[in-house]
Structure 1
Amino acid sequence: YPFQFFTQASIRMSDDPELLEAMHEAGFNHVFCGIESPVKESLKFMGAQKNLQGDRSLLDKVKTLQSYGFEVSAGFIVGLDADPDDVAEQMIDFIQEAAIPVAMVGILGVLRDTPDYRRFEKAGRLVRGIKYSGDSGLFRKELSFVPKVEPDELFRRHQQIVSTIHSAEYFFPRARTLVKRLGRHAMRPRQVGRPEIIGALRSFWIQGVKSSYKREYWKLVGGTLLKNPRRFPIAMRLAIQGHHMVTVTQQSLRVAKLQTFCEEALTVFERLGKAKDAMMPIPARAGEMLASVAGRLSPAKSVTAAKNNAQVLLSAATAQASKLKAEYRSQANHQLREFRGKLENLVNEYATETSGFDN
């Protein structure tokens, strides 16, 4: 039969060579494992210590699966109480060394009727009103529990991991390592037809000519074609997959950047309304977007000055949203509408204050 199979299973399957042999012969070539964390203490905290069973490391277990020709994808979680301060660096290093092309990294979410839910409820650390669904957006700042670290630090760690592993500088070298490490060829390799050829030609143009990461692209695609041509279809699939990962992450980062700017801008706008006679300093930790327009803001000595500040901030937010690809603009447009409405409300409030502005 002309099929290849993909499954989700425990990383402990690497301890069963008979099972792995049978899976390879049946046509399996891809497995997803819930590795969760490379940190032993974090795995124990979440009750996933079974991943540590045996005398082999998690890295060795991944390599064993790859030696049978299985590409390994994996899920990881940050935000656990036992996470060390350098959990982001440890997770990035593990994913890179393990050559896991697609790593799904998310912040811990607390689902009802789970041990985590009962634990956090008992400790008074559930966030009421937040119903975790498992799909809250790549960089959405929403937590269903109170973390041990400051929320902003947790969001920073998550963003650091995802933006790093899904950058071209990290994804393509990881894919090259996987292509070299796969030990067996597929029992039933996929046939290459017209759709695959058209897809490859489009990839050559979009990624190999027009992209900003063309050098990394050709190291993977061209290098595989020259040194390991039987793996070329895998390299092409990974390259196209990489384009998706890089693009989605870049666009999501821009949406997150816009959200951060809107939050900071509203705070600064309110402060300017109270600084009638002197310019209040922009917070030292302000994002680069806010810092770039700070020189165009002024103390709100009048309604006109307040409106000017609002226009400066709104123009900056609109410019950021315009950089997004069309398919990512709906979320940004929603943020812009909310931002515009809040600015208008603040201007109206200032205008009606008894000690407010001279027009």
Structure 2
Amino acid sequence: MKALLLYPQFPQSFWSYNRTIEMVGLKSVIPPLGLITVAALLPQDWDIRFVDRNVAFETEADWQWCDLVILSAMLVQKQDFHALIRKGVALGKKVAVGGPYPTSVPQDALDSGAHYLVLDEGEITIPAFVEALNAGQESGIFRASEKPDVTQSPIPRFDLLRMDQYFMMSVQFSRGCPFNCEFCDIISLYGRKPRTKEPSQMLAELQCLYDLGWRGSVFVVDDNFIGNQRNVKRFLKALIPWMKERHYPFTFMTEASVNLAEDEELLSLMVEAGFYSVFLGIETPDQDSLQVTQKLQNTRHPLVEACRKINNAGLLIYAGFILGFDGERSGAGERIQAFVEQTSIPQPMLGILQALPNTQLWNRLKREQRLVEGIGVTEVGDQNTLMNFIPTRSLAEIAREYVEGFWRLYEPSRYLSRCLQQCLNLGIKNRQRQTMKLPLRKGLQLIAQLIWRQGILRPEIRGQFWWQLWIILQQKPYVLNMYLGLCAAGEHFWEYRELARARLTQQLGYDPLLAAPSGS
């Protein structure tokens, strides 16, 4: 079997960092871990070609060569995903699809003509798919009634990647989350019982990256890295000597729930193992909204204090915030802005609530007949979309708070001030350890671009850029890599805030920052 594995393009999004990765001569932030894991699960005697369309495009010769096209996609990749299905069908190729998007909304892939839907988790459904192919089955939907044992998952095919085109590599330790947030689709996709790999398994994956020559940042893609705290500590205790023996070749970032702040041992182990940052789902500082959406783990302790503890341990914080919860009071956007300034979180991801298919929120709103077709991220596929349900307060007000919040949070001077303060807040104990890594040539290229763009070209921040750089060099030179990386990310966000405003203006028919129509 000749299989062409294609990963669809991402539109410009919060996480795409388009301008920033362009500045350092890269193509994409992270590789598609799911698809290279699929490649490892396929029969070893298959001929495989892999193409990440965010790095380079496949050729027409690739299309002519293959018998089978395999696609994996997230919702945000919707447009290119469907275009690739249709092209494969038009060329007479068999098309198989999987990943979070078709697993959540299988009918979309069928409507575009996909022959095989290999859904849920591949450790179970890929063997069934291969068996059906061998039996000559022309189409089929393959689903799993149970969750696989991830200790049996193979090492992803990292060898298929053009490593020099990515900002960081990625690995996965666990799947699933123990919490019950109403809006989240992770628990519907992967369950509420976190399943983890064995420490030896993770070290084998990291060794593979090491042997292939990777030196730099690694994103642990778990939706909640600390979902199983006993097992994550086992892994970290094995990772620490492994990293030390190899002179700390990697630095790590991941996603975790805010209750990370409650476990000082876990925080200490993460930092000692080489973790430099964590993404937190804070969502909102409004306690009543957290109760409504069942994010109770965020109500146990003051959120500002939790952020301070995580910073003091030595971890930089990224965080997600959401507008549009039921019962939300006016001014939620302003309260999020105030929280971000108070905690100096440099890159807050602000979004409008979406009811994702098969979530508890989706099911509740469906019962209440509040879902709206034709809008929202499920329909459009990008993050800057109005909610796909009827909210409990004015949609115009939510849209204004979203655009205004994004606009103000990423005002260049405010953004750079938070970058400085966050780095100064970090309680890093080992001053010799790298915090964020780029190869030397890429790092020098980034510094040159930053000096040109922010130290010379932008008069509104030119003085601030040089003054803050002096402060970092004087007070915390050992976080210089991290600080410069955050500054460089600003180039992406200053463009992206314009795009977010334009996308909402197009949907509303007016610019929410300038005026709202009367009576809205």
Q: Please say whether Structure 1 and Structure 2 have the same fold, judged by a TM-score greater than 0.5.
A: yes
Q: How many residues align?
A: 264
More strand by share: 2
8 Å Cα contact 1:69/1:183 also seen in 2: yes
Pick from 39, 46, 65 the counterpart of residue 286 of structure 2. 39
1:20 counterpart residue number: 267
Which residue of 2 is the match for residue 171 of structure 1?
A: 415
Alignment correspondent of 1:116: 361
Deviation at 1:34, TM superposition (A): 0.7
Over 3 Å counting, the alpha-carbon distance change for 1:219 and 1:43 in structure 2 is farther
- Per mean C-alpha deviation after superposition, the further-off stretch among 3-12 and 190-199 is 190-199
TM-score between both structures, scaled by the size of structure 2? 0.47
Change (3 A) 1:216 1:230: same
Deviation for aligned residue 1:22 = 0.9
Which runs of 5 or more residues in structure 1 are unaligned? 266-283, 288-359
One-letter code aligned to 1:51: N
Q: Which residue is 2:352 aligned to?
A: 107
Aligned residue number for residue 225 of structure 1: 473
Identity level (%)? 26
Q: Deviations over 1:316-349 (max 9, x none)?
A: xxxxxxxxxxxxxxxxxxxxxxxxxxxxxxxxxx
- Contact 1:3/1:188 (8 A) holds in 2: no
Structure 1 stretch displaced more, 180-189 or 165-174: 180-189
Name the SS for the 1:72 alignment partner.
strand
In structure 1, what residue type is equivalent to 2:477? P
Task: Map residues 186-197 of structure 1 onto 2, 5 A cutoff.
Answer: 188-189=433-434, 190=437, 193-197=440-444
* Deviation at residue 37 of structure 1 after TM alignment: 0.8
CA distance in 1: counterparts of 2:257 and 2:504, whole angstroms:
33
Which aligned pairs between 1:212-291 and structure 2 lie closer than 5 A?
212-254=460-502, 256-257=504-505, 263=509
Q: Does 1:92 align with 2:337?
A: yes
How many Å apart are 1:227 and its aligned residue? Answer: 3.1
In 1, Cα distance between the equivalents of 2:405 and 2:342?
Answer: 14
Deviations 1:16-63 (A, max 9, x none): 11111111111111111111111100100100021112xx31011011
Quick one: which amino acid aligns to residue 403 of structure 2?
Answer: Q
CA distance in 2, matches of 1:160, 1:203: 27
Which amino acid in structure 2 is aligned with residue 199 of structure 1? L
**What's 2:314 paired with?**
69
Aligned counterparts of 1:234 and 1:264: Cα–Cα separation in 2? 38
Structure 2: distance between partners of 1:58 and 1:197: 37
One of 376, 395, 398 as aligned partner of 1:154: 398
State how far apart, in whole Å, the 1-side matches of 2:379 and 2:348 are: 16
Q: Which moved more, 1:184-193 or 1:62-71?
A: 184-193
- Displacement of 1:185: 4.7
Are the aligned partners of 2:328 and 2:392 in contact in 1 as well (CA < 8 Å)? no
The answer to whether the 8 Å contact 1:40/1:49 transfers is no
Matched, 1:50 2:297: yes
Q: CA 1:20 to 1:152, structure 2 compared with 1: closer, same or farther past 3 Å?
A: same
Choose 214-223 or 104-113, whichever is displaced more: 214-223
Give the corresponding residue for 2:425. 181
Structure 2 unaligned runs (5+)? 1-245
Contact 2:376 2:387 in 1 (8 A): no
Q: Post-superposition shift, 1:149?
A: 1.6
1:147 Cα shift? 0.7
SS for the counterpart of 1:4 is strand
- From the superposition, tell whether residues 253 and 285 of structure 1 become closer, same or farther in structure 2 (CA, over 3 Å): closer
The verdict on how the C-alpha distance between 1:134 and 1:8 changes in structure 2, with shifts beyond 3 A counting, is: farther
1:286 is displaced (CA, Å) by: 6.5
Contact 2:327 2:393 in 1 (8 A): no
In structure 2, distance between residues paired with 1:164 and 1:264: 19
CA contact (8 A) 1:221 1:239 kept: no
Q: Tell whether the 8 Å contact from 2:258 to 2:297 is kept in structure 1 after alignment.
A: no
Amino acid at match of 1:233: N
Distance 1:114 1:258 in 2: 28
Structure number having the greater helix percentage: 1
Cα 1:73–1:48 shift into 2, 3 Å: same
How far apart are the structure 1 equivalents of 2:266 and 2:408?
34
CA-CA distance at 1:174 after TM superposition:
0.9
- 1:244 partner amino acid: H
* 8 Å Cα contact 1:125-1:146 kept in structure 2: yes
SS at match of 1:133: helix
Question: In the TM superposition, what whole-angstrom CA distance separates every residue of 1:203-239 from its partner, at most 9, and x where no partner exists?
Answer: 1011111024223322332321233322222221111
2:320 partner SS: strand
The answer as to whether partners of 1:109 and 1:134 remain within 8 angstroms in 2 is no
Q: Distance in 2 between matches of 1:244 and 1:215?
A: 20
Counterpart of 2:427, as a letter, is G
Alpha-carbon distance between aligned partners in 2 of 1:134 and 1:60, rounded to the nearest angstrom: 38
- The separation in 1 between residues aligned to 2:278 and 2:469, in whole angstroms, is 23
Q: SS at 1:143's partner residue?
A: coil
Amino acid paired to 1:98:
T
